Amino acid sequence: MTSRIYEIDDLHGLREYLSSFQDILKVRECLFSEFLKYARYGNATEWNMAVRLCECLAIVGWGDKEPLEAIKGSYFNGNPNTFFVNRNTEIRFRDAVWSSRKEGIAIDFGLSSFHESPDAMVVKDMLPSRGIGEIQAEKLKSQRNWIPKNPICITRGIANCYENSKAVIESMEKELRQELNHRMRPELYGNAINRIILDCSFSFYDNYHCKTNYIIADEARKLKQKDFYPALLEMFSEKEIEDNGYYLRNRFSYGPFRGDTGTTRIGIVFEKEFSDFPPHRQKQVLSEYLVHAVRQCAKRLYRKVDYDFELMVEDFSVILQEWCGKGING
């Protein structure tokens, strides 16, 4: 069976092949046993085999094992980074950074690490502290289907913000994100949506070189990017714009939905006045915008995808309300 799954390249074919077996429990056990062989991958071929096994386990289910997703991302220097994550975005097994060579690609052991898993018989993996692994002329793959996980991903477009907002934003990135990862119920919503990325951009002024103070455009005008600066000149002089770092932006910007990745991105912009509010009010305003963005996303997609948006938004709203009710350190 395992040799055949490496030959089938498309997900539809994998589903058909795996559904042809009557004993799914046995199939699952076989796939997981095979996965453990390659969870400590040492080259591109082994990583790609691990990816295929994760795709198969996402189809038949992981059973009583911790579901994992095989991700190919980028390290801060732009080199490929491959790793496995659970539904709470915790990394498991090998987390590898790759180095490109003329002959191909290889693991850079000096930048790679190993993470224990509750399902692994061996909890440690002895990695070389430096050096390059086996070089192969093979393209690294990334998993094309996904495990059930919290669909709401809140990110920050720019790291800076005004001092009075730091505690609230840190709470959003830590406490709120953790609550969403643990309390959303993705198994009940469906599998058409992988990620709704809410990308928040906050005004800031660091008194040195960088200053960005967003001015929110009138929604009725429905301005496009090319119209922002001309419209801003109607409101302020060029000197005022330069001195204050003014940028005219729409409050919300909705990106397309990609069915192949199950992902859509929504930008949310916050003006300087947001940071003038006390922390509890900042939480309330932030929550209102987040829920509004997700509801609008649901309206755009509910006819296109089979997904329980109503239940998802309800869960999201409840978690946000409880987060708002907590103190800034609570």
| Mean of pLDDT over the chain | 92
- Summarised one tens digit per residue, pLDDT across range 195-222 is 999 999 999 987 667 889 999 998 877 8
Tokens matching residue 290: 């987040």
Q: Within 13 Å, how many C-alpha atoms sit on residue 26's CB side?
A: 6
Of the candidate ranges 60-74, 136-150, 209-223, 299-313, the one whose mean pLDDT is the lowest: 209-223
pLDDT at 208: 64
Overall average pLDDT of the 304-313 stretch:
96
Please tell me the distance from the alpha carbon of residue 196 to that of residue 173, in angstroms, as a whole number: 15
Q: Within 13 Å, how many C-alpha atoms sit on residue 45's CB side?
A: 5
In the predicted structure, residue 159 carries a pLDDT above the cut 90: no
Other Cβ atoms within 10 Å of 7 Cβ, number: 9
- Summarised one tens digit per residue, pLDDT across range 225-241 is 899 999 999 999 999 99
Q: Which residue has the higher pLDDT, 1 or 190?
A: 190
Overall average pLDDT of the 29-39 stretch:
94
**Nearest partner of 98 among 140, 46, 35, judged by Cα:** 140
| Beta-strand relationship, 195-202 and 263-270 | parallel
Alpha helices in 61-176 (DSSP H): 166-171
206 φ/ψ angles, rounded to the nearest 5 degrees: -95, 5
pLDDT band at 286 (very low <50, low <70, confident <90, very high): very high
Q: Within 13 Å, how many C-alpha atoms sit on residue 52's CB side?
A: 23
Overall average pLDDT of the 92-111 stretch:
93
pLDDT at 219: 83
Q: Which residue has the higher pLDDT, 290 or 209?
A: 290
- Summarised one tens digit per residue, pLDDT across range 67-96 is 999 999 988 888 999 999 999 989 999 999
Please tell me the distance from the alpha carbon of residue 98 to that of residue 111, in angstroms, as a whole number: 8
In the predicted structure, residue 250 carries a pLDDT above the cut 70: yes
In the predicted structure, residue 329 carries a pLDDT above the cut 60: no
pLDDT at 330: 43
β-bridge mates for residue 214, sequence order? 247
Please tell me the distance from the alpha carbon of residue 11 to that of residue 282, in angstroms, as a whole number: 44
In the predicted structure, residue 134 carries a pLDDT above the cut 60: yes
pTM: 0.86
